[in-house]
Structure 1
Amino acid sequence: MQYITLNDGNKIPLLGLGTYKATEEIGVESVQAALASGYRLIDTAAKYQNEEQVGRAIRQSGVPREEIVVTTKLWRENLGYEEAKEAFAESLRKLDLRYIDLYLIHWPANAKNYADWERANADAWLAMEELQAEGKVRSIGVSNFWPEHLEALSRTARVMPAVNQIEFHPGYWQPEVVEFCRQRGITVQAWSPLARGKVFGNEVLEDIANKHRKTVSQVCLRWVIQHGVVVIPKSASLSRIRENLDIFDFELTDAEMEQINTLPQMGFSGELPHMWPDRVTDK
């Protein structure tokens, strides 16, 4: 496993396991399988309703707690100082862990949903800064923040976000957001790296995969990490979990990277941080 150092000095793996929709025993089994295979980054969220399962899997895995980077997230309806403190306490209770390695604001407040969206984000962030100072959280960050949200947050923040987790996959990888974060030392994480399955059957990706004797999934994940972006594919299949880990023994050429960079839009979720809960239609 390869690691990347965050702007606060903490290190996280370049590859982790996403657990969206992995509830009940499926969630426990997938996390345990991932940890047994060598994963050390596990991503969950309050909204996923599987924190209890993820926490149980971690405790039962036999892997020392200090080796595992656990991420969970503050849901966008709980933005505010007291709300964030209460939501964090509930996540910590459900995970049944002493601390969280990475705590993220899941989605920013916006003008459609908060009378003062900048204040809502700032108040939640203040609570998270305090949780970090208290040792309850190792690193704090955001998810789905655009430059406008990050710039607003920076006006009051004492701690720069360590991570911004965004939708990032072939056909929709938000290069402007990535560059904005890179210039400010914010590590980008990729959710939905396989474009909701839309990458499968793509001729460009299949051709590149055949050249490297790899799968399309492996090519896509390799493309993500060669951008310097952390990737968290989700899977409940043991074979896929192991396959996704096998991406550190090959490298895409500059030409192949550019081929993937310029693929037309596909697999876009339709979720935009300044529009929620509305969506736009995938084109």
Structure 2
Amino acid sequence: MADVYTNPEKHVILHNNVKMPILGLGTSHDGGYSHEAVVYALKNCGYRHIDTAKRYGCEKYIAQAIKASGVSSEDVFLTTKCWPTDYGTNTTREAFNGSCQRLGVNTLDLYLLHWPDVPSGVRDKNSLLLDTWRTLELLLDEERVRSIGVSNFLEPHLEVILNECSVVPHVNQCEFHPYNNPKKLRSYCKERNIQFEGYCPLGNGQILTEPSIQDIAQKHSKSPAQILIRWNLQNRVVCIPKSTKNHRVKENSEVFDFELRTEDMDTLNNMTREIQIMDPSTIQAKIDNPLPDGYKLKLVQIPVEP
């Protein structure tokens, strides 16, 4: 079994006892997709957790990369997400089956509702969310998926689910870095045994030049990116940095050989500047605009199948 599943520092245990690697490789259609980088991450850097979404349009390429890496798909913790236009009892199941087919697996490790928003023409938003969540619960009961959760959900959105659900979400994935550190939301999730997972841990590179982060990096002889990822891990937040460059993928994985001091953690935990990379106010238009999945996908070094 891979080290990430045997070393307690390298995984978290969800409230249904599923082990989830605390460090993963993020993917998206914005910023490109590198087949070489995903293969390299799996084969050379020990990554065993990949995060994607149907919306990104790269699920089928991830399946190719896993195969090319020589790593068994059973050892890779795969997360993908259901886009709001697929919410609903039948459409969610169809979307789930489509993701499994493209990823080349029969079961998924984690399936998330991508956003709490729904198409603007829906009259009863909460009813649609609950119907969709019940479908995820059924997929879990049928052992088609090992864990289920949400993404970008705040406390009021979670309340809609928690008031009616049979299964409390295992994970809530949100933007997370020192300039976007939702402490109240994290406490809310912790009290309910919902594992917090963070995307954009490097703030899309916008915070790497922050003097206090660079000072901590210099003190530990590490890069600012490694400091930010290590901060995630010591907060026990699942972290999914993304990169299309091999050397960055490797650098991002080399974060288990040092530890931030209490004063370092206090500095990073109490940043006062606020930066939000993902603007939630733009999502409704994206949901209502009938653009295809992967519409921004930049294909980087993806092999052509014979």
Normalised-by-shorter TM-score class? over 0.9
2:283 paired with 1:276:
yes
Q: Does 1:198 align with 2:212?
A: no
Structure 2 counterpart of 1:85: 93
Give the equivalent residue in structure 2 for 1:260. Answer: 268
Cα distance in 1 for residues equivalent to 2:20 and 2:247 = 23
* Letter paired with 2:238: V
Q: Secondary structure at the match of 1:73?
A: strand
Corresponding residue number in structure 1 for 2:37: 30
* Structure-1 residue corresponding to 2:294: none
For residue 50 of structure 1, what is the amino acid of its counterpart?
C
* Amino acid corresponding to residue 227 of structure 1 in structure 2: N
Alignment match, 1:188: 196
Distance in 2 between residues matched to 1:160 and 1:68, nearest whole Å = 24
The question of whether the paired residues in 1 share the 8 Å contact of 2:243 and 2:249 is answered with yes
Find the counterpart in structure 2 of residue 146 from structure 1.
154
SS at the partner of 2:272? coil
Looking at structure 1, the residues matched to 168 and 216 of structure 2 have their Cα atoms a distance apart, in angstroms, of 37
Provide the C-alpha distance between the structure 1 equivalents of 2:109 and 2:228, rounded to a whole number of angstroms. Answer: 26
Cα deviation, residue 112, structure 1? 5.6
CA distance in 2 between counterparts of 1:100 and 1:27 reads: 22
Tell me the equivalent position of 1:6: 14
Q: Please state how far the C-alpha of 1:270 moved relative to its aligned partner.
A: 4.6
Could you tell me the percent identity over the aligned residues? 37
Q: Which has the higher contact order (CA 8 A, sep 6+)?
A: 2
Aligned counterpart, 1:15: 23
Matched residue type, 1:82: N
Q: Tell which deviates more after alignment, 262-271 or 198-207.
A: 262-271
Say what the alpha-carbon RMSD is for the aligned residues.
2.0
TM-score (norm 2): 0.86
Name the CA distance, whole Å, in 2 between partners of 1:164 and 1:129: 16
Alpha-carbon distance in 2 for matches of 1:111, 1:48:
18
- Trace 1:1-283 onto structure 2 (pairs within 5 A): 1=4, 2-21=10-29, 26-36=33-43, 37-109=45-117, 114-272=122-280, 276-277=283-284
The amino acid of 1:16's aligned partner reads G
CA shift, 1:8, in A, is 0.9
Cα distance in 2 between the residues matched to 1:230 and 1:81: 29
Give deviations 1:95-149, integer Å, cap 9, x for gaps: 1211111100010136966421211111111111111111211111110111111
Aligned length: 277
Q: How far off is 1:278 after superposition? A: 6.2
In the aligned structure 2, how far is the partner of 1:241 from the partner of 1:266?
A: 26
In structure 1, distance between residues paired with 2:135 and 2:31:
28
Take 2:155 and 2:146, find their aligned partners in 1: how far apart are those partners?
24
Q: Give per-residue Cα distances to partners, 1:31-50, cap 9 Å, x unaligned.
A: 21110110000001001100
Alignment gaps of 5+ in structure 2: 5-9, 287-306
Q: Distance in 2 between matches of 1:151 and 1:29?
A: 41
CA contact (8 A) 2:79 2:109 kept: yes
Corresponding residue SS for 2:147 = strand
- Aligned partners of 2:245, 2:275: CA distance in 1, in Å? 21
8 Å CA contact 1:55, 1:95 repeated in 2: yes
Structure 1: runs of 5 or more not aligned = none
TM-score (norm. length: structure 1) = 0.92
